[in-house]
Structure 1
Amino acid sequence: MNAVKTGSHAASTLEKTPVGDLVDGKGHSSGAEWLTRYSTSLMGVFGTPQRVLVRGAGCLVWDADGKEYLDLLGGIAVNALGHAHPFVTSVISSQLATLGHVSNFFTSPTQIALAEKLLALTHAPPGSKVFFANSGTEAVEAAFKLARRNGASPDGTTGKRTKIIALEGAFHGRTMGALALTAKEAYRAPFEPLPGGVVHIPFGDVAALEAAIDETVAAVFLEPIQGEAGVRPLPPGYLKAAREATTKAGALLILDEVQTGIGRTGKWLATEDAGIVPDAITLAKGLGGGFPIGALLTFGEQTSSLLAAGQHGTTFGGNPVATAAALATLHAIESQRVLENVAVVGDYLRTGLAAVDGVTEVRGEGLLIGFDLDAEVAPAVVTAGLDAGFIVNSPGPRTIRLAPPLVLTKDQTGTFLAALPAILRTAKDAQ
């Protein structure tokens, strides 16, 4: 038996081999051919993919048939620096060639450095800590466990705090604990019974929030902007009211910034100017610049000590490559003044959208934007947008969501704004 090739010779061989040939040895396939193969080999949980994408650069991607698209969704707010960012790519490659995975029986310099960096960026108080996961839903699962430990008895059994509060319209993920926090019935119903104790209260209603929080509540989970509900920001003053009510009752305030964090709104955290300190924050999506990573940040010594050794874990969480990718992403955002770009381009995009005939409302902050239409044509707008070379998303029948790379330029934004009226007309004609 031949030994597996290792070292520089194997590396040079791979570099000369087209990725498509490595995958199947059949050479180039059209988008239609790939989709046929997709339907016979992958579970249908995502439905039929809209396109087969093969390459990206910055805010542009290309499909298997060579068509170019301006990516205004960014992998659902994931590709913070666009596609194939040279610095992030080089750091990932270098780290993988140095040390790829060690498990959490060990640690690595990149894991420690990233935890320190996140605590510094979020102005975390003394005693704060970080737990690394692989995704947003896993970060929320860790936060769910954290909530269960609030008020637990010394022997580890659950105490009197058995209730967790989330909002109507909330989306916190698809795993069982995160799904219990998610409000959409279509996501929940096939998997009930879900973990108990979660109560959903009306969105943005301070009186309902204050009435729901008592000594039986372990935690309140809030998204500062509900992305899956159509980019719906919490009303002014809501977070302060939540902080006051949870503090008074001894409940945790946990902020889900999976979609809104890491510069998406033009700030490191969407909630950093809210004038509050939460008990915990979940992060993911843009944190790795496209590489899978999630994080739970616990603020203060008391909250950080709720989960003891052995009470949670993950094999891949915080591995050297993922944490190196996140460090590279954060460095690039800082050094390239990306947050300033988000503020400028976001304002330009929202102003331009508000002037388009057929757009009835524009919401959001930075480069997380939702806009409503005067007819239930949003899914048709997605299709017409693809045909015109733009990737957008429809979280509702009248709503389009934009979450492009944070490096989107005004010129690129202008091409979308110029094309949007024709896209809307095409969508309406298709109905």
Structure 2
Amino acid sequence: MPTIPLSQASAGMVLAADAESLDGMYRLAAGLLLTDAHLRVLRGWHVREIEVAAPSEASPAPDDAAPADAATAAAARFAHLPQNEPIVAALLELALARAAGEPAPGRGRLPASRPLPPAEARSPERILATDPMLVSLPEVFMRIREVLSDPDSTVEEAAAVIGKDPSLTAKILKLVNSAFYARTMRAAGSLPPGPVDSLSRAVLLLGLNQLSTLAMGVSVLPLFKDIPPECVDMRQFWRHSVSVALLAKLVATRLGDPNPERFFVAGLLHDIGRLVLYKQLPEVAGTILAAAMTSGRPLDEVERELLGFDHAQLGGMLLRKWRFPESLEQAVWHHHDPLSGDTPLEPAIIGVADMVTLATLSGSGDRRVPRFIPEAWQLTGVEASELATIVATAETHLDIVCAMFA
């Protein structure tokens, strides 16, 4: 069992002994068939040498073998990222710490891959135009949109419109009274002295635009309750979306934004384009997911290759069709490439929240952590040293807020 410098190791070798990070906190297990991704992880851990099995002792694993343990799987999801970046290193440390107490991941069944329909049948315009559900929106949504677009609207009018939907009213009041909102309102200097027991009080507390935007976002969620379960685990999907919403609002509040609710809504709806694909083109969505899983490439990259657009663009176009505020539309549309938009701060906040969520809290079908965009992180001002606190804060409230949308 020779010990060799890591610089001489290559994919296809088999570890003969556990390989640990310098602090001993993380390890790759003996018997693991090394890939290029594993070697990048080891370099990121600053490992200098490893023990490998002699050629006769090595027993190659099948090509589709699952990672040896949860820590290995977590580390592999970061292998394409620059390990020397403090943000990436901090996220990897959080991910590995969480993985330490998790069971080894199963590989899962890949969706069936099917031929794509003709290009004209899968353009974003055609997709959004052919679903009556996406055209005939709930009446309460239409009324809230009217209130939001009318500069002469009053608190009483907004409360009356939202109050026509008891379920929506209950969700809004639960959310505004949650411990998470108490924390962010305290940070913004607007914590109320008592419970928010009416929509009028909620409007006075958050402001007309903020509460209307929040109500619009929440009101469209039931439109996607009938997504086929074989397409996506909706519980996991909304858990991911709520995680991004919580983190985005935390970052926006930290920046002193006067309307952090729009970031909560943008986080909640940032992957709504995926739901449209699952609903309108389930076989295409399955083909894309299978291609992403087998290649290890990001879903949005595979979408652009096979469709000519990605779910972020589709979601942004849907919000434009629904006449959501432009800043929210742009935040959804450009969250995978914040610098491509006219106002990069909004999509940068959603993109950063999405990266943190996929790295540490909850996935949405993508097996890789999104690419690291230094300019997006610079815009948000989030430092590596703050990540553990921000993630812990969001996680503390995640189950409670998720239950509100059940």
TM norm structure 1? 0.24
Q: Which has the higher strand share?
A: 1
TM norm structure 2? 0.25
* Larger relative contact order, structure 1 or 2 (CA cutoff 8 Å, min sep 6): 1
